[in-house]
Structure 1
C-alpha cells in the first residue's frame, strides 16, 4: 500500500519501523510517530501515506484525506495515493468517488490488481454489471490465481443471473485456495438460492471448517438447516443463536427470524446489517416544489414483479389506487423471465421501468427524471434487496413496505407501513423507522384473486376422505420443534387425523417423517402438498379442516391464502412483527377468537375445534360471510387507507416537518 520514499524522507530504518507498526496494526503508535516525523520531513510521500493510513484505521477521516491528498501532490505519478483515497471514499459510503479514484489508479497502472478487483466489486454493488465484469476479467488476466478476484467475479455473475458462470468462478477461487471460507460461503449462498440444499450445506460446512467464528456464515447454515427441518443440528447451535448479529459481527437478519422471537435482538441485527449493506453516503433531500402536484407519483422498487407472493397480494391494490390523485411507477430490478404476473403489473401501473442490471445511480436518476414523490422499498432485508439505492434519495419520502417483516434500520428509509397488531405499543421502541399505522391490517389483499373450480377430491391429494385434516402450508423453515410437538399431540388426540404440509424439499420431508415417528406418530399421517399454480393451490384448501400457524415466524401470504379460500386459521401471537401477522389478518377478517396468546391456549383451542364439528362449521360460515363484509378483503377500502397514509407522509415533508408516526383513521 505504501511505497516510494520520495525526497527528503527519513532514513530507511525509520520507514521500516513504521512499516512494521502498520503490518502489526499498531495504528495509535504509527499515527503518533508519523505525525511527528511529518513535521520534520514535510516533503516525504511515505510519511504522509503512513499518517493517512493510520488516521483512516483510527477513524480520523478528515485527517486521513488531508494526508493522502498531500501525498498525491508530492508524488502524482504514484498510484498509491489514489488507491488510499479510494479506500477512504468507500469507507465513507461515497462509492461513486471511490470508483473514480480506482480509475485514476488504473490510468497510471492498468494492471493494478487490487484496484481492478475493488472497482469491480463496487460496480457490482452499484449494479453496473457489464463494467464490473470487464474490470474483473482484466484482474483475472493479470492475476489468474487470485481467490479474491475469482470471488468478486462470481458475485458479479450471480448478480447478473449467470449461475453457471458464478459457480465456476467460485470453483476457481477454491482451486487457488482450498481453505478459502469466503469462496465456500458465496458458493453456499448461490446453491441455496437455486434450490440445491445438499451442495449448499456442504459448502457452508466447509466454510465454517475454515473459519469457525464466521457468524454470518453460521446463520446461513442455520437457515438452511431450518429449511431441511434438521432440528438436531440446530439444537447443537441453539446456545449461540441469541448472540448472532448482536454481540457478533453483522448477520443477515432474515435468517434468524424463524429461529427466535425477540424484537429487541432483531432490531440490533437489522441495525448492524443495514450499516454493513448501506455504505453509500446519503444524498441531500430534494428541494420542495413550489406547488403541490396534481398527482403524487409513487415509485415501487423491487424484484418481485412476477409469480411471487408479494405480487399476488399487491395486484388488487395497484388496480384500486385512485389514478386521479396518484400515478404509479414500477421499478423492476429483478432478472426473472417475463410471465403473466409481470404482464399484469405492466398493465396496472402508469409506467413500468425495466432497470435490471442498472447501477443504483442510474436508477435514482431515472426516478428523479420521472418525478417520483414517494418511493416504496419492496424488499428490505430479503433476497434481491437493494436498500443501498435509497441513499441516493430517489424520492423525498421513502417507505419500507410489505417485504421484510420488521424494521430495516436503513437511515434513508423514513417510514415503515404496519398496523397496531403487528407493531403493538409495547414493541414500538423496536422499530427504527417512523410508522404509518393502517387501521386494520398492513397487508394488502386482492379481492379478485381467482380460485380454480374444484376438480379434485381428498384422495387425489393423498388425504383421507373422512379424517380430520390439519393443515400448514408454511415454508418448512418456519416449523420448529415447539409447534411440531403440539401438532403431534393433536394427531394422538384426534383419531384418524392427518397433518397436511407443504412439500418444500425432500430433506425436509424425510426429517419431518423422522420427527413424527419419534413422537410415536405413523409418518404416513403426514401428507405433503407439492407446489401448484396459485388458483389451484387456493382451490385445494377446501379439503383441509383447520390451518395451524407457526410461532416465531408465522404465515403471512400463506395465512391470507387460507382465509381467502375459506379455511379458518388458528394463530399463536408472538412478540415480533413476523410472529403477529396471522393475528392481524384474523382480527381484520372478524375472527379474533382464533388468536391465542400462549402455547397451551393454542393447543386447547385446536382440540376443541377438531372435536366440535358444528362449531367449526359455524366458523367456516362466518369466514365465508366476513370475506364480503370485513376490511381484510376489501381492497378498495385498503387502497383509501393506504393513500391516506402516503399522502400524510408526503404532506409532512412538503410542510418542512420531520417524519413522525402517522395513524390512519378508518373510513
Structure 2
C-alpha cells in the first residue's frame, strides 16, 4: 500500500479533524490507483459520520475526476445529511448531468426537494427515477411524501403501497403511510402502521413520536406520554419532544415529574433549543418572554418565511375592503361559535368577506349560517400551502385573518408565503405567532397591557372593550335538568369548571381542594375529557383528604343543552395560568358567575377581560389567597351570590361583552385603521381604538 495512503489512514486513526489538503494531493499525485482507494476511504468516513473528512477527500478528488458522477453524488448525499439541501441539489444535478441513467441521484434529489417543500419539483425528479427503475421502492415512497404534502392523500397511499409491495419491511414507507392516514384523521390505521414500523425497528425515534401523536388524537393520553417518553430516552434533543410529552401528561392530569420536565423545557427555550410547541406550552407557562421565544423557535423551524407572494400595498381599486378569514373550524366548534354573528353583521357596503376553509362541512345549522354570511367560501383543505396562498392572492384579499395560529387545524405555511398585504393573528391562539409575516394581533388593554407589547412580534391592535367576540344568538335549551340526572347531589353547593383537563394544574387543584374542605357538602363539577384524567383527579383529591366522590364529571352535550345545565351549578372556578376563554363566556351567557385570578400572560388574563367588560370586577382576584377566600365567601353567603347573579343577568344584555353590533363596529374600525396605514404606505404600528 502506498506510504501516503498509510499516512492518511494513520492520521484518520489519530484525529477526527479534516485531513490536510497537501496530504491528499500527495497521495493523488503519487499513483492514479490511489484515487479509487481515497474514494473508498471517503465513503467509509461518511458511513462513520466523519463528514468533514469525507468532504475534504471528495472535494480534492473532484478536481481530478471531473467526469465521475459518483463523487458528486456522494458529496450531494453528505450535504443532504448535513441538511444543506440547496447545495445537495446542485451536486445531484451535476451527477445527473454526468450520468442521466442513474436513478439514485434523482431519488435523493427528490428527497432534498421534499425537505425544501418544493414538492412539485420533487415529483418531476422522482417520476424520472421511477421511469429509469420502477423497482426502486425509495422513489415510490419519496413520491408519496411529496403527494402527501400536496394533500393528494389517496395517491400518496397508493405510492406507499407500491413501495411496500417491493419491500414489505420498508420502515420509512410504513411511517409515511401512517402519516397520511393521520392527515385523513384515520388514527387507528395510522397507529397500526407505526406499530408495524416499530416491530421492524424498535429504536426508530420518528415512529415513536408519530405513535404518540396518533395516541394523543385518540385521547389515549397516558399511552401517548409513554411513547413521547420513549422518544426522549432515544433522543433527548428530539425537536419539541419534551413539550409534547408534557402536554400529553397534562391532558391526563398525570402530574408526576412535571415540575422537572417544565423547568427543563424552560432552560432549553432560553438556550434557543427546539423544546416545546407554543400551544402546549401556553397551558403551563406564566412567563411572556419565554412564550415569545417558544413561538419564535417553533415558527422558524416549522414555518419559516417563504418568498412573498404579495410584497406591495392593498389594492386602491377595490370599492370595499376585502377580508379573508382562514380557519379550520367553520363548523360547530368554539372559534366559529364565537365568530358567527360578527360575520353576519359585517357591513357589506364597506367590506367583502371570504372564508378560506381548512376544515369540513359538518352539516350543522351553524355551518349554514356561516356560509350565508360570507361573500364566498373557498375550500383549501386539499390544497397545498402554495396553492392555498395563490387562491388568496387571486381573490386580492386586503386583510387575511389567521383564526388558528397554532391551534386546531392551522395553515401557518400559507401565511408564511404572505399572500395578502396585511396579515392578522386573532382569537384562536392567544399569543404571538413569533414571525414577522404576521403584521397585527387583535387584543385589548387587559390581555395585553402597555408593558407587555414587547413580548409580541406583531403590532398590537387594542379594541376599546374585550377582544373576544361573542354570538348573542347562542341558544340556551329550555330543558330543565335536575341535579340528579346530571349526577350531582340534590343538596349542597356546586362549584364547576368546564375547562379542558390540560388547564388543570396542581397549584389550581390545591386551591380547589382547600375550597371543598372549607365548604361543607360542596362538590366540584368538571367536564369529562378523558377517563385517565378522571381517575387521576379523583386520586389527587383523595391524596388531599377529599372524598373522590365529590369530584363529578359532566359528559359532553350539545351546546344548547350544555348552556342549560349551567343552571345546576352555583359558581364557576377559573384555571391558571391558562384561563377559561370560551368556557367562561359560555358560563356568563348562561348566567353563572365566574371567579378568576388575573395572570401574567395573555391566556391568563382573558377571564379578567371578560369580567371587566361585563361589569363584574368584584369577581376578579389578584392572589391565590384572595381567589380561595372569595370562592368560600360566596359559597357561604347565598345573599351576596344571589345579588351577583342578578347583576350578571342585567349586564348580560347591556354591557359591551355580548353586544355583537358594537363589537362588529369596533372590529371594522380596527380593519379600516390597518388598511388606511397600508394604503398610505406606512408600516404596521400599534393601534389603540377608543370608545
TM-score with structure 2 length normalisation? 0.88
Report the secondary structure of 1:270's partner residue.
Answer: helix
Find the counterpart in structure 2 of residue 3 from structure 1. none
The correspondence for 2:63, drawn from 39, 43, 48, is 39
Deviation at 1:16, TM superposition (A): 1.5
* Counterpart contact for 2:252–2:536, Cα < 8 Å: yes
Find the counterpart in structure 1 of residue 13 from structure 2. none
Report the secondary structure of 2:267's partner residue.
Answer: coil
* Counterpart contact for 1:9–1:43, Cα < 8 Å: no
The correspondence for 1:17, drawn from 36, 41, 44, is 41
Structure possessing the higher radius of gyration over alpha carbons: 2
The correspondence for 2:466, drawn from 438, 441, 444, is 441
For 1:5-154, what aligned pairs fall within 5 Å after superposition?
11-53=35-77, 66-154=90-178
Report the secondary structure of 2:177's partner residue.
Answer: helix
Q: 1:511 to 1:103 in 2, by over 3 A?
A: same
Deviation at 1:313, TM superposition (A): 0.6
Report the secondary structure of 1:629's partner residue.
Answer: coil
Deviation at 1:64, TM superposition (A): 5.1
Moved more, 139-148 or 104-113: 104-113
* Counterpart contact for 1:304–1:311, Cα < 8 Å: yes
* Counterpart contact for 1:215–1:245, Cα < 8 Å: no
Aligned-partner Cα distance in 2 for 1:479–1:562: 18
Find the counterpart in structure 2 of residue 5 from structure 1. none
Does residue 193 of the first structure (1) align with residue 194 of the second (2)?
A: no
* Counterpart contact for 2:459–2:686, Cα < 8 Å: yes
* Counterpart contact for 2:596–2:607, Cα < 8 Å: yes
Find the counterpart in structure 1 of residue 381 from structure 2. 356
Does residue 307 of the first structure (1) align with residue 332 of the second (2)?
A: yes
Does residue 377 of the first structure (1) align with residue 391 of the second (2)?
A: no
Does residue 414 of the first structure (1) align with residue 439 of the second (2)?
A: yes
* Counterpart contact for 2:403–2:427, Cα < 8 Å: yes
Gaps of 5+ in 1: 1-7
For 1:350-499, what aligned pairs fall within 5 Å after superposition?
350-499=375-524
Report the secondary structure of 1:231's partner residue.
Answer: coil
Report the secondary structure of 2:416's partner residue.
Answer: helix
Does residue 531 of the first structure (1) align with residue 590 of the second (2)?
A: no
Find the counterpart in structure 1 of residue 596 from structure 2. 571
RMSD after superposition: 2.8
Find the counterpart in structure 1 of residue 345 from structure 2. 320
Aligned-partner Cα distance in 2 for 1:66–1:215: 28
Q: 1:624 to 1:175 in 2, by over 3 A?
A: same
The correspondence for 2:574, drawn from 549, 554, 561, is 549
Q: 1:499 to 1:60 in 2, by over 3 A?
A: closer
Q: 1:330 to 1:206 in 2, by over 3 A?
A: same
For 1:143-222, what aligned pairs fall within 5 Å after superposition?
143-197=167-221, 199-208=223-232, 210-211=234-235, 214=238, 216-222=240-246
Report the secondary structure of 2:683's partner residue.
Answer: coil
* Counterpart contact for 2:405–2:412, Cα < 8 Å: yes
Q: 1:27 to 1:351 in 2, by over 3 A?
A: same
The correspondence for 2:539, drawn from 514, 525, 531, is 514
Find the counterpart in structure 1 of residue 682 from structure 2. 657
* Counterpart contact for 1:160–1:357, Cα < 8 Å: no
Moved more, 529-538 or 83-92: 83-92
The Cα offsets for residues 135-156 of structure 1, whole Å up to 9 and x where unpaired, read as 3222222222111111111111
Report the secondary structure of 2:639's partner residue.
Answer: helix
* Counterpart contact for 2:497–2:573, Cα < 8 Å: yes
TM-score with structure 1 length normalisation? 0.91
The correspondence for 1:631, drawn from 656, 674, 683, is 656
Deviation at 1:50, TM superposition (A): 4.4
Gaps of 5+ in 2: 1-31
Report the secondary structure of 1:243's partner residue.
Answer: helix
Find the counterpart in structure 1 of residue 17 from structure 2. none
Deviation at 1:266, TM superposition (A): 1.9
Moved more, 533-542 or 407-416: 407-416
